[in-house]
Amino acid sequence: MGVTEHISKQFEEDLDSTRTRVLQMGGLVEAQILAATDAYMTGNAELIEQVIENDRRVNGYEVAIDGACSHIVVKRQPAASDLRLIMGISKIVTDLERSGDEAEKIARMARAIHEHGGQHAQRFPAVRHAAQVAVKMLREALDAFARLDAVAAAEVLKEDAAIDQEFRSVLRQLITYMMEDPRTITPALEIVWVAKAIERIGDHAKNIAEQVIYIVKGTDVRHTSFADIEREIAKG
């Protein structure tokens, strides 16, 4: 094996290893969101502490992957599509870390909500449904990243409107709840924070999908209409 071929092989192994770690981090974040949602519904104290403690693992992944990306850039000096991949990974990891922060926030809010009584969380099953939509978006965005599939990534962008609608629906229900009984204002506001955290997770999933399109197509589609994104992807 020639020196050039060896370097190229090592470069590919570095990229594959980094992509694998991103997907592992994504799997952990997804588990965090699901656990935090369960904690919100049940008030399970052990689950709440588990989510809060595991946020350190999410942060650890971010630091390790950022370090790996910096190492690849300095040592391999990637160009064109490989450089886009590294830049995209760096931004995806940031969105995953922030999604993990939102999961931790949900867990902390769950503890506060259940101190007021679990019946408040049970009254708003739409919150769980919104979380399911957000997790689905995140899972599909990560799957699109794993396959570097711009078409699948574009489908994730379509779902952003659905989670925004879920948030507005929950907000309307909570306003009515507070107006009917002012004693519920404190737990209702805490539920608003949970719903907002879920909406932000959906936003981060959308950001990840946009980065996948950037990696594959070389086009920054942030702040771009969906019709224009579809035209860009259709160029082949």
Structure confidence by residue, pLDDT tens digits, 163-179: 888 889 889 989 998 89
Output the pLDDT for position 209. 97
Residues written for the chain: 236
Predicted structure pTM score: 0.91
- Is 134 in contact with 198 (CB distance < 8 Å)? yes
- Is 222 in contact with 210 (CB distance < 8 Å)? yes
Mean pLDDT confidence for 10-36: 94
CA distances from 35 to 22, 26, 79, 145, 225 (A): 20, 14, 40, 23, 34
Model confidence over 114-159: pLDDT tens digits? 887 777 777 888 899 999 999 999 999 999 999 999 999 999 998 8
- Is 85 in contact with 215 (CB distance < 8 Å)? yes
Output the pLDDT for position 196. 95
Name the H helices within the chain: 3-42, 45-76, 80-115, 119-122, 125-147, 150-158, 160-180, 185-217, 226-234
Mean pLDDT confidence for 87-114: 96
Tokens 């929950």 locate to: 170
Handedness of CA 91, 93, 96, 101 (dihedral sign): negative
Is residue 184's pLDDT more than 80?
A: yes
Tokens 């919150």 locate to: 127
Mean pLDDT confidence for 41-62: 96
Tokens 């007021």 locate to: 116
SS3 state of residue 223: coil
- C-alpha 38/C-alpha 36 separation (Å) is 5
